[in-house]
Amino acid sequence: MKALILVGGFGTRLRPLTLSVPKPLVDFGNKPMILHQIEALKACGVDEVVLAINYRPQVMLSFLKEFEAKLGIRITCSQETEPLGTAGPLALARDKLQDGSGDPFFVLNSDVISEYPLKRFIEFHRICGGEASILVTKVDEPSKYGVVEMNEKTGKVQRFVEKPQIFVGNKINAGIYLLNQEVLNRIQPKPTSMEKEVFPKIAAEGKLYAMVLPGFWMDIGQPRDYISGLRLYLDSLKKNNPQKLAAGQHVVGNVIIHESAQVGDGCLIGPDVSIGQNCVIESGVRLSSCTIMGGVRVKKHACISGSIIGWHSTVGQWTRVENMTVLGEDVHVCDEVYSNGGVVLPHKEIKSSIPKPEIVM
């Protein structure tokens, strides 16, 4: 069975992190975003993953080569020379996806994090007998998204409504699909939208079905949603794999700490914190609702909340970092500095406070 992951372009919404690596390789929960998806695909029987990409494909492939052997799954690239939307990449990768088996194939948006109930989804698709199935998720504010109107009993999709101004439903496209091979005959290798062009036609023919996604869902393609997604992911770990969470007097709520990280005395870590490989958290540090990526040193009595600290950075003593501050790779914040929503590009030294949200070039 095969899968295509829509990797896309430059990851501008997650800068400055994506100035160092392509967006799918940004760490989330102590492993690259895309690895969460590849592991879930492998677990449900997928043996080949095609990455639809138009930005730095060699960086992606060379990084993922080690996981090919580890997971026993083939990973290849289909490179766009121009942006092809959410459907065009399928036509471009047609030769890789059509293998003569007749099996359906997965399509995933690389920004999406969830519990990936893919075995249940395969069974749902088989029972419904449609040409395409999509996962949908319930949201509180559907007017920001494309809403899927569906028959609650059968799962048959009636129509898509893009950013409705009046309430038509609260289920939105979750960015995970299971498609029969014949869907490829509907798509040309040109800029095309699955949501606005392909799916409405399949729905009009009564061949599109939707399964409501159990558990959490988040598009983590921008910092605020990334932090929210981390909280949901750690909640899910607590329910399904509590042994992966850290424990101890210094831990409050759901926290993951890489086994190679060092945490000093008198720290208070959590809730909703991820500490990466080879990090050093010195004594008396306070961390909450934040990601500390690999190789970071947080010095004594620093306080970090609601922020993302990029690889190999340093946060000085008695420094306070909060309100969606994002430090790129190798940023060094001096002692007794305050950052209120600063977005700092890689390889910078911050000697003075950032009192209000701004980009530091």
pLDDT digits (tens, 9 = 90+) for 315-359: 999 999 999 999 999 999 999 999 999 999 999 999 999 999 998
The per-residue pLDDT for 63 is 77
Return the DSSP state at 84.
-
How many beta carbons lie within 10 A of that of residue 335, not counting itself? Answer: 14
For 331, residues 6+ apart whose C-beta sits below 8 A from its C-beta are 310, 313, 314, 344, 345, 346, 347, 348, 349, 350
d(C-alpha 75, C-alpha 49), whole Å: 5
More confident position, 64 or 15: 15
Q: Is the pLDDT of residue 157 over 80?
A: yes
Look at residues 309, 311, 229 and name the one whose alpha carbon lies nearest to residue 272: 229
Type of residue numbered 60: M
Helix (H) / strand (E) containing 212: strand 208-212
Q: Is the pLDDT of residue 11 over 70?
A: no
Mapped onto helix, strand or coil, the DSSP state of residue 117 is coil
Q: Tell me whether strands 303-309 and 326-327 are parallel, antiparallel or unpaired.
A: parallel
Q: Is the pLDDT of residue 209 over 90?
A: yes
Question: pLDDT category, 264, cuts 50, 70, 90?
Answer: very high
Q: Tell me whether strands 157-162 and 48-53 are parallel, antiparallel or unpaired.
A: unpaired
DSSP code string of 259-286: TT-EE-TT-EE-SSEEE-TT-EE-TT-E
Mean pLDDT across the chain, nearest whole number? 88
Question: pLDDT category, 9, cuts 50, 70, 90?
Answer: low
Exposed, middle or buried by CB within 10 Å (0-12, 13-18, 19+), for 315?
buried
Return the DSSP state at 267.
-
Mapped onto helix, strand or coil, the DSSP state of residue 50 is strand
Q: Is the pLDDT of residue 129 over 80?
A: yes
End-to-end CA distance of the chain: 45
Question: pLDDT category, 220, cuts 50, 70, 90?
Answer: confident
CA angle at 245 for the pair 259 and 26, rounded to the nearest 5°: 70
Check the CA dihedral 245-249-252-258 and report its sign.
Answer: negative
The upper half-sphere exposure of residue 106, i.e. CA atoms within 13 Å in the direction of its Cβ, equals 29
Share of the chain above pLDDT 90, in %: 48
User: Mean pLDDT, to the nearest integer, of 188-194?
Assistant: 81
Question: pLDDT category, 191, cuts 50, 70, 90?
Answer: confident
User: Mean pLDDT, to the nearest integer, of 156-160?
Assistant: 86
The tokens of 67 are what?
Answer: 């996981």
Across 7-16, 100-109, 154-163, 249-258, the highest mean pLDDT is recorded for 249-258
The per-residue pLDDT for 283 is 96
Question: pLDDT category, 222, cuts 50, 70, 90?
Answer: confident
The per-residue pLDDT for 324 is 94
Question: pLDDT category, 193, cuts 50, 70, 90?
Answer: confident
Residue 71 backbone phi and psi in degrees, to 5: -95, -15
Question: pLDDT category, 252, cuts 50, 70, 90?
Answer: very high
User: Mean pLDDT, to the nearest integer, of 31-60?
Assistant: 85
Q: Is the pLDDT of residue 56 over 80?
A: no
Query: Cα torsion at 70, 76, 82, 88 (round to 10°)?
Result: -110
pTM here? 0.87
Q: Is the pLDDT of residue 58 over 80?
A: no
d(C-alpha 342, C-alpha 322), whole Å: 9
For 310, residues 6+ apart whose C-beta sits below 8 A from its C-beta are 16, 17, 20, 293, 296, 326, 327, 328, 329, 330, 331, 346
Residue 150 backbone phi and psi in degrees, to 5: -145, 160
Say if CB 339 and CB 333 are below 8 A apart. Answer: yes
The per-residue pLDDT for 10 is 65
